[in-house]
């Protein structure tokens, strides 16, 4: 992954965390690295909304880009969904004592940027 792509991802994750917090989410962790047995990867944001534990995948895109889907949130396909579920299970098994949650959910946030300016923001609750 190029440095420019990493920077774009960090900007999108920062914006998503800020907007989620502004919407009443409590951010528990960001950029959580998980490595257990065959499961290794990163969860962008772990948050709580009321009594729901939410795992959030953030996808960034550049306006006018010819690569990838028109809406960044649509870049989370079936394989990525399965991977995120495995990462969430692994994180839960190692996170230590957590409060009881009424439910668990996977959200996707898509951020579309033009230069440094946000031109699109999409939050898909319960995306998968």
**Which residue shows structure tokens 């190029």?**
2
Q: Sort strands 103-114 and 52-62 into parallel, antiparallel or unpaired.
A: parallel
Going by C-alpha positions, the residue among 44, 48, 46, 93 that lies closest to residue 72 is 44
Q: State residue 70's pLDDT score.
A: 79
Could you please report the per-residue DSSP string of 51-77? TEEEEEEEEEEETT-SSS-SSGGGG--
Contacts of 16 by beta carbon, 8 Å cutoff, 6+ apart: 44, 45, 56, 58, 109, 111
| The pLDDT of residue 68 is above 80 | no
Would 81 be classed as within a structural domain?
A: no
Q: State residue 51's pLDDT score.
A: 96
Number of domains in the chain: 1
Would 63 be classed as within a structural domain?
A: yes
pTM of the model: 0.92
Would 40 be classed as within a structural domain?
A: yes
- Looking up residue 64, the CATH number of its domain turns out to be 3.40.1350.10
Would 35 be classed as within a structural domain?
A: yes
Would 9 be classed as within a structural domain?
A: yes
| The pLDDT of residue 69 is above 80 | no
Residues spanned by the domain of 48: 3-75+87-124
**CB distance 20 to 56 below 8 Å:** yes
Q: What percent of the chain has pLDDT over 70?
A: 98
Calculate mean pLDDT across residues 28-43: 92
């Amino acid at each position: 992954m190029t440095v420019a792509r990493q920077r774009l991802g960090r900007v999108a994750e920062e914006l998503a965390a800020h907007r989620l917090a502004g919407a009443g989410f409590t951010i528990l962790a960001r950029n959580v690295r998980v490595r257990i047995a065959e499961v290794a990867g990163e969860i962008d944001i772990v948050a709580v909304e009321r009594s729901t534990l939410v795992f959030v995948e953030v996808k960034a895109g550049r306006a006018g880009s010819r690569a990838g889907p028109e809406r960044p949130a649509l870049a989370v396909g079936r394989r990525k969904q399965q991977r995120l579920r495995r990462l969430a299970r692994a994180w839960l098994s190692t996170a230590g004592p957590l409060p009881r949650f009424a439910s668990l959910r996977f959200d996707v946030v898509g951020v579309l940027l033009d230069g440094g300016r946000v031109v699109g923001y999409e939050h898909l609750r319960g995306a998968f």
